[in-house]
């Protein structure tokens, strides 16, 4: 009888004493959004609030620093619960992912270009749309918010890259392409901290008709329980 009572107590206790499943969280080095800290966690504009949310929610995490396309593969893979940091919430991504509350909002979009293209003195998106020979560099599987529709209407010469942002910046500086769209935060950070010898040939163009910056989220796969999303939302402090 005593053994039966002990066994029953163990069964009742097991849901609270069993180890919680680890969430695999992916990110890539992308200052100022994500900068790996000495302890291996991501810091930066989106990395820091995401790290804090998982910590304050008490959710066990395994961090993975991987390229963006690999992040999407992890989120789409239902075999293990995975999330990725700093993604836009789009209708396409909602088909395979769940989103938390926003963790950050970009200030605005800007055009990162080189001195030769900047010499055209373009002052708005409306004027840019008339430059049909412009060569635009975009990141593979990225969304540029409202600029996606703008580029579909504009239909410039488009080059798609899987390279890190700084490699893409080199292509702009060397004149291999004319421009790329970046957030105001990222553009100024690149010019001030990472452009190096390329800086004198780079320009940031700010247009009055540029759409507002987008909110960024933690995107998780369908295998991540809704209860985990709810706990993260409760821990997220961005308003």
pLDDT tens profile 156-182: 999 999 998 889 999 999 999 999 999
Contact 99, 218 (CB under 8 A): yes
3-state secondary structure of 9: helix
The set of long-range contacts for 162-167, using a CB threshold of 8 Å and a minimum separation of 24, is 162/67, 162/68, 162/69, 164/28, 164/29, 164/30, 165/30, 165/139, 165/190, 166/190, 166/194
pLDDT tens for each residue of 61-86: 999 999 999 999 999 998 999 999 99
* Whether domain 20-106+215-235 has CATH 3.30.870.10: no
What CA–CA distance (Å, rounded) separates 126 from 129? Answer: 5
What CA–CA distance (Å, rounded) separates 40 from 154? Answer: 42
Q: What are phi and psi of 42, to 5 degrees?
A: -80, 135
pLDDT value of position 19 = 52
What CA–CA distance (Å, rounded) separates 227 from 233? Answer: 10
Q: Inform me whether the pLDDT recorded for 9 exceeds 60.
A: no
Mean pLDDT of 1-13: 38
Residues 6+ apart with CB under 8 A from 44: 30, 31, 32, 33, 34, 35
pLDDT value of position 6 = 37
Query: Tokens in use for 97?
Result: 């992912």
Which of 151, 167, 29, 130 is CA-nearest to residue 85? 29
Residues 6+ apart with CB under 8 A from 55: 235
Domains 20-106+215-235 and 109-205 share a fold: yes
- Determine which of 6-20, 103-117, 183-197 has the lowest per-residue pLDDT on average: 6-20
Q: Inform me whether the pLDDT recorded for 3 exceeds 60.
A: no
Q: Can you name the residues that pair with 221 across neighbouring β-strands?
A: 97
Q: Return the sign of the alpha-carbon dihedral for residues 72, 229, 225, 20.
A: positive
- For 116, other C-beta atoms within 10 Å of its C-beta total 11
Query: Tokens in use for 70?
Result: 């690999």
- Whether the full predicted model's pTM is greater than 0.85, yes or no, is yes
* Whether domain 109-205 has CATH 1.10.260.40: no
pLDDT tens for each residue of 23-66: 999 999 999 999 999 999 999 999 999 999 999 999 999 999 99
What CA–CA distance (Å, rounded) separates 19 from 187? Answer: 43
The ranges assigned to domains in the chain are 20-106+215-235, 109-205
What CA–CA distance (Å, rounded) separates 58 from 124? Answer: 46
Length of the chain: 239
Contact 83, 224 (CB under 8 A): yes
Q: Between these two residues, 16 and 182, which has the higher pLDDT value?
A: 182
């Amino acid at each position: 009888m005593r053994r039966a009572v002990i066994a029953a107590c163990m069964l009742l206790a097991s849901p609270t004493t069993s180890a919680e499943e680890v969430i695999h969280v992916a990110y890539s080095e992308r200052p100022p959004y994500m900068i790996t800290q000495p302890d291996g966690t991501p810091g930066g504009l989106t990395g820091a609030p995401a790290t804090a949310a998982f910590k304050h929610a008490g959710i066990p995490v395994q961090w993975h620093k991987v390229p963006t396309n690999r992040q999407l593969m992890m989120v789409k893979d239902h075999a293990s619960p995975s999330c990725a940091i700093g993604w836009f919430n789009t209708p396409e991504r909602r088909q395979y992912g769940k989103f938390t509350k926003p963790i950050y909002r970009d200030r605005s979009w800007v055009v990162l270009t080189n001195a030769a293209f900047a010499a055209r003195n373009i002052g708005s998106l409306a004027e840019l749309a008339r430059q049909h020979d412009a060569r635009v560099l975009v990141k593979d599987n990225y969304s540029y918010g409202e600029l996606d529709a703008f580029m579909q209407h504009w239909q410039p010469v488009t080059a798609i890259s899987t390279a890190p942002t700084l490699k893409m910046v080199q292509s702009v500086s060397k004149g291999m392409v004319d421009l790329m769209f970046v957030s105001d935060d990222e553009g100024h950070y690149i010019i001030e901290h990472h452009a190096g010898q390329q800086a004198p040939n780079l320009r940031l163009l700010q247009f009055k008709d540029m759409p507002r910056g987008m909110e960024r989220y933690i995107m998780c796969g369908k295998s991540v329980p809704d209860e985990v999303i709810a706990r993260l939302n409760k821990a997220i402090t961005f308003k």
